[in-house]
Homo-oligomer: A and B are copies of this chain.
């Protein structure tokens, strides 16, 4: 909310609620999921406002689109700097990690392909500890 305000945006109910939902979610949410949750707190919110808030939060790098095999329209909060995602394929729980060292790989691929490599996306998929326990029963 501070960041929105600092960028000249007004602090409104639809924004507050959308931000709160995204900030508290451990898994990526899409517009309609946010909308369903938001209505519980603020019945008159419109889906359009959710879309518009997502757009602004993404511009300000406060949320990040998450690409998964099932779709790429969900967002997760908490992005800062160069990080990557670790996603539970059972419940969707998503964590960030960093410290990947791809320098050697990138150098090799660059040499073999004659590409100048500027960026990379890395996502790990697995089963979170909660879902491991549920599974073992």
Q: Which residues of A contact B (CB under 8 A)?
A: 67, 72, 86, 88-89, 95, 97, 99-102, 105-106, 108-110, 112-129, 132
The reply to whether A117 and B113 form a contact with Cβ atoms under 8 Å apart is no
Is A95 touching B118 in the complex (CB atoms < 8 A)? no
Q: Which of chain B's residues have a CB closer than 8 A to the CB of A117?
A: 86, 124-126
Instruction: Give the CA-CA distance A136 to B113 in the complex, in Å.
Output: 18
What's the minimum C-beta distance from A74 to chain B, rounded to whole angstroms? 12
Listed from nearest, the 8 A-B pairs whose CB atoms lie closest are: A117-B126, A114-B129, A115-B126, A119-B125, A72-B72, A67-B67, A121-B123, A116-B127
Contacts of A101 in B (CB 8 A): 105
Q: How far is the CA of A117 from the CA of B85 in the complex (A)?
A: 12
The answer to whether A100 and B110 touch across the interface, beta carbons within 8 angstroms, is no
Inter-chain contacts of A120 with B (CB < 8 A) = 122-125
B89–A118 touching, CB < 8 Å: yes
- Contact of A114 (CB < 8 Å), options: B105, B113, B123, B128: B128
Chain B residue contacts of A129, Cβ below 8 A: 114-115
